[in-house]
Amino acid sequence: MRLHLLVCTFLSVAVGTTMGCNKNAEPAEGGATVTAAAEDNGPITVYCGRSKSLVKGIFDDFTKATGIEVKARWGKTTATANTLLEEGANSPADLFFAQDAGALGALAAKGLLKKLPASVLDKVDAGFRDPAGQWVGISGRARVVTYNTDKLKPADLPDSLEGFTAKKWKGRIGWPPTNASFQSFITGMRVAKSDAYTEFWLKGILDNEPRVYPKNTPAVQGVAKGEVDVAFVNHYYLHRLKKEAGDKPFPAANYHPRGGGPGAMVNVAGAGILKTSKHSAAAEKLLTYLLSKPAQERFATDNFEYPLAEGIAPPEGLPALKTLKLPKLELGKLSDLESTLKLLRKATVLK
Amino acid sequence: MGASRRPSGGFALAGAAWLPALLVLLVPAWLLLRATGGDGTGLTRVTAPATLTLLVETVLLAASVVVISAVIACSTALLVARTDLPGRRIWSILLALPLAVPSYMGAFAAIAAFGPNGLLAERFGAELPEAYGPVGAALVLALLAYPYLFLPLRAALLGVDPKLEESARTLGLTPIQTLRRVTLPLVRPALIGGALMVALYVLSDFGAVALLQVDTFTSVIYTQHDAFDRSGAAALALVLVAVTGCVLLLEGRARRTWRGRLTATRSTAVSSDRLIRLGRWRWLATAWCSLVVLAAVGVPLMVTAVWASSSGATCTHCEPLGTLALNSVTVAGLTAVVCMVLALFVVRYATFGRHRRRDLPRRLLYSGFALPGIVVALAMVFMASSWVPVLYQTLPLLVVACTLRFLPQATDGLAPAMAQVRPSLEEASRTLGHGRLATFRRVTMPLIRRGWIAGGVLVFLTTIKELPATLVLRPTGFETLATELWDLSNEAFLGAAAERCILIVCLGVLPMLVLLAREVER
């Protein structure tokens, strides 16, 4: 009996404290713009949802150039964003570098991010940053159709993704529906078109019995192996796998839908500064550096991503951003993954 | 001096036994908070039709994995413990090795090896079906999890007093009848306990089910987190806690219904003339054991070795392998030691009492083992960052999280051993003038040592493989083999990733080899 009482007391205290703390979890409003203190030399803690192999070199270059130490925590973008949501006002993070605009949108919606100064925001086309100025795009990832070049020529491919609902694509499509980029793309379709259109398209593809992949890399490998003829993925996986394959044949290529539409959208990897940051001026310097010419060129040459700062050339062999027929949509709205998930479940794409 | 006559232990024992259980209970408390938070739609997930489908699929998967594991474990355990199988001591070690294989590695290997374009088809021209789907997932998970049944079963078989079986034979029972009516009831507790661990392993696994495209509570909880649907994820995790509760109730009931009387005889070696002679069946038996080990350990190692040897992009940003291995061993070693110490209190408290509620802390701990790693990790993030920021993102907190996840493995190893320690034995020692510590060291420890260390080894090698909690809770800049493997496998660095994967398996196998080799020598 005594033990039962003990457990109950402990639990009620625990729950009570938890609730109490949660009330304070929303960080205090204030500091609408970041005021740079020139002598802020960090060190800064960066929660990085981007892969270490992609950006560690760039952080090292930044430290060499400015003397500001970067303490990076590498992790999955969504898990990192969830961590930041749990930390709330107690976060030790200064900057969040996310793989996806959706994660930044989720943090911005909870009021965890600071408004960035115009000097940073203006480096990037308005289409690739938060309209409210709480995060900025750093590099771009285009949605593409990766196709098997042994089986298909570009002329065989339809003008837009709608064409893939035709019967002749039955059993030939691969997609990664649990992947974050894929879900962002579906959110993009919802925002650019409508929920009804998106559901209709999803059902059309489902009727063609698409092969489900856990993420982009195996989907692109599946195309090259001939498991499927086409896959709906991001553009750069192909280039990385081709580099990895070296001299071995890798019979796959990317197709940017010539008719445009949601299938041709360009999502961004971006960054924002936490309101809890004690070194926001130093964090702002890192943000500026990420948008500078040397860093932007590294995203292009090392990672095959699109540089987003104005006036820097795209990676070799890729069509320029301006030549792609981008759908009209606000990337800030890609944070509404919740509705996308509901739709994906309704269409039985997800359980 | 009432304590010596009352082995139920003092207040300190109760406190030490309840501490980890209460910490684990904070996780469901946090889940309740999250499930009712947000826009309040989270709890509607509990009653949604999709959740029922998910429940059925998850339970079916867990049940089939338990059945397949039981077939593998029973057959192989009988072979190594009761027959003249050639090289059966080596087999005892080999058959335990799958424990060192991370589930994501097993699943990756199955995907790469099978299918019309898989490595096996390429090498041997065999047209094999694909690994994706519930059947593939059940087989892969069973091959990875059966040692949770094999090890206790083998120990129990070796612990059965051979005289009992002999008497049964002299009374006219056939070998099969003896097995069914004498041996099986004696090893039933081991069977039930092992089945429980296999079931919970399936419930909490993410790596294999995600790669093999099967939905379970855990994989859907991950998807919900990815969509920032925190209340939905928490609601599903609460359902998972309830499912775990049901599994535990079932297990408890099974134990009470078929209560076996485990004899206290300690591993009287079964002399070779009592072994079942396999005769010409021994080649079939060897083939069966080979098939199991080859599929569970051979294929993953082979596939990973192929990747490791493929040149691939060189990794310029990687930490030195030595540093990574040291970090991994530090976390796993500390977790194993903490788990072993806590297990002593938990099991001691559970064993020496008359009331069933003394077993409650031990049973509550299973929920930490059954919950997805990300759930335990995010709960720790919330609690540590708001209540004990000093500990947040430090090694001790990571060890606490891993302890909460894996402590049941240590208690499971220890419990059967502790059950053999008769209070009268310790009382005799106390009467003869030995202190409490001396009694523990000279009477209790020799009896429990084997099971105690075995539990610690199990915790060690599971922690080496652990990824989700380590990724979220590790100190900033602290990389382990598993975290870097995860980072590399996301990009086109398969070669470097494969090296780390093989090192994880090797580090897990080493302590197991030492442990089992010592045991086999006896």
A139, A269 contact by CB (below 8 A): yes
CB atoms within 10 A of CB A301: 11
Tokens for B237?
Answer: 């995790």
Residue closest to A218 by CA, chosen among A178, A262, A162: A178
Specify the pairing of strand A230-234 against strand A252-255.
unpaired
A101, A188 contact by CB (below 8 A): no
Residue of A nearest to B384 (CA): A87
> Using CA atoms, how far apart are residues A223 and B468, in angstroms rounded to an integer?
30
| pLDDT(A96) > 70 | yes
* pLDDT score for A163: 94
B113, B119 contact by CB (below 8 A): yes
> Using CA atoms, how far apart are residues B342 and B410, in angstroms rounded to an integer?
9
What is chain A's mean pLDDT, rounded?
Answer: 85
* pLDDT score for A284: 94
Residue closest to B364 by CA, chosen among B408, B305, B417: B408
Tokens for B249?
Answer: 């109730």
Tell me which residue in B22, B213, B392 faces A10 most closely, judged by beta carbons. Answer: B22
> Using CA atoms, how far apart are residues A297 and A17, in angstroms rounded to an integer?
49
| pLDDT(A59) > 70 | yes
Q: Which residues of B touch A298 (CB under 8 A)?
A: none
* pLDDT score for A148: 96
Report percent pLDDT > 90 for chain A: 56
> Using CA atoms, how far apart are residues A108 and A84, in angstroms rounded to an integer?
11
∠ CA A131-A134-A137 to the nearest 5 degrees? 75
Maximum C-alpha span of chain B: 75
Tell me which residue in A19, A218, A350 faces B223 most closely, judged by beta carbons. Answer: A350
Q: Which residues of A touch B57 (CB under 8 A)?
A: 351
Q: Which residues of A touch B381 (CB under 8 A)?
A: 83, 86-87
Residues 6+ apart with CB under 8 A from A326: A127, A260, A264, A265, A266
- What DSSP designation does A324 have? S
Residues 6+ apart with CB under 8 A from A340: A183, A186, A187, A190, B227
* pLDDT score for A3: 45
Minimal C-alpha gap between A3 and chain B (Å): 9
- What DSSP designation does B357 have? G
Q: Which of A13, A18, A242, A303 to mutate to test the interface with B (most CBs of B within 10 A)?
A: A18
Minimal C-alpha gap between B248 and chain A (Å): 19
> Using CA atoms, how far apart are residues A204 and A167, in angstroms rounded to an integer?
9
Minimal C-alpha gap between A12 and chain B (Å): 9
Cβ-defined contact of A18 to B382 (cutoff 8 Å): yes
| pLDDT(A25) > 60 | no
Note the pLDDT tens digit of each residue in A226-282.
999 999 999 999 998 888 788 889 999 999 999 888 889 998 999 999 999 999 999
A51, B491 contact by CB (below 8 A): yes
> Using CA atoms, how far apart are residues B436 and B429, in angstroms rounded to an integer?
9
Residue of B nearest to A8 (CA): B22
What would you report as the CA-atom Rg of chain A, rounded to the nearest whole angstrom?
22
Note the pLDDT tens digit of each residue in A131-168.
899 999 999 999 999 999 999 999 999 999 999 999 99
Residue closest to B27 by CA, chosen among B379, B289, B333: B379
Q: If phi over 0 gives left and psi between -120 and 50 gives alpha, with beta otherwise, what is residue A111?
A: left
Sign of CA dihedral A325, A335, B385, A39: positive
> Using CA atoms, how far apart are residues A103 and A181, in angstroms rounded to an integer?
11
Tell me which residue in A11, A217, A337 faces B228 most closely, judged by beta carbons. Answer: A337
* pLDDT score for B256: 80
What would you report as the CA-atom Rg of chain B, rounded to the nearest whole angstrom?
23
pTM, two decimals, is: 0.85
| pLDDT(A12) > 70 | no
Helix axes B49-82, B134-145, angle to 10 degrees: 40
Alpha carbon distances (Å) from B364 to B180, B249, B257, B327, B353: 33, 11, 21, 30, 17
Alpha carbon distances (Å) from A221 to A210, A250, B112: 15, 9, 11
Residue A266's DSSP bridge partners are: A142
CB atoms within 10 A of CB B116: 12
Q: What are phi and psi of B415, to 5 degrees?
A: -55, -50
Tell me which residue in B227, B378, B492 faces A86 most closely, judged by beta carbons. Answer: B378
Cβ-defined contact of A53 to B382 (cutoff 8 Å): no
Q: What are phi and psi of A44, to 5 degrees?
A: -115, 145
Q: How far apart are the first and last CA of chain B?
A: 39
> Using CA atoms, how far apart are residues B466 and A282, in angstroms rounded to an integer?
34
Which helix (H) or strand (E) segment holds residue A205: the answer is helix A195-207
Coil, strand or helix at A252: strand
Q: Which residues of A touch B360 (CB under 8 A)?
A: 3
Alpha carbon distances (Å) from B216 to A28, A36, B50, B351, B510: 39, 49, 12, 34, 32
Cβ-defined contact of A341 to B223 (cutoff 8 Å): yes
Alpha carbon distances (Å) from B142 to B65, B98, B507: 5, 10, 22
> Using CA atoms, how far apart are residues B320 and B275, in angstroms rounded to an integer?
50
Q: Which residues of A touch B482 (CB under 8 A)?
A: none
Note the pLDDT tens digit of each residue in A198-242.
999 999 999 999 998 878 888 999 999 999 999 999 999 999 888
> Using CA atoms, how far apart are residues A80 and A74, in angstroms rounded to an integer?
9
Q: Which domains does chain A have, with CATH numbers?
A: 39-139+267-320 (3.40.190.10), 141-266+337-346 (3.40.190.10)
Q: Is the N-terminal amide bond of A43 cis, ω within 30° of 0? A: yes
Amino acid present at B22: L
What does the pLDDT average to over A83-109? 92
CB atoms within 10 A of CB B258: 13
| pLDDT(A76) > 50 | yes
Residue of A nearest to B376 (CA): A83
Q: Which domains does chain B have, with CATH numbers?
A: 12-35+310-522 (1.10.3720.10), 42-298 (1.10.3720.10)
Which alpha helices (H) appear in B10-102, and where do they start and end? 11-36, 44-47, 49-82, 88-94
Tokens for A100?
Answer: 């996806």
Q: What are phi and psi of A230, to 5 degrees?
A: -140, 155
* pLDDT score for B46: 84
pLDDT in tens, chain B (522 residues): 333 444 456 788 888 999 999 999 999 999 999 998 876 677 887 888 888 989 999 999 999 999 999 999 999 999 998 888 998 888 988 999 999 999 999 998 898 888 766 777 777 777 778 888 899 999 999 999 999 999 999 988 887 777 888 888 888 888 788 888 888 888 888 899 999 999 999 999 998 998 887 889 998 899 888 878 888 899 999 999 999 999 999 988 888 876 655 444 444 555 555 677 888 888 999 999 999 999 999 999 998 888 888 756 677 778 889 999 999 999 999 999 999 999 999 998 988 766 778 889 999 999 999 999 999 999 999 999 999 999 999 999 999 999 999 999 999 889 888 887 888 888 888 888 888 888 888 888 888 888 899 899 999 999 999 999 999 999 999 999 999 988 887 665 778 888 899 999 999 998 888 877 776 654
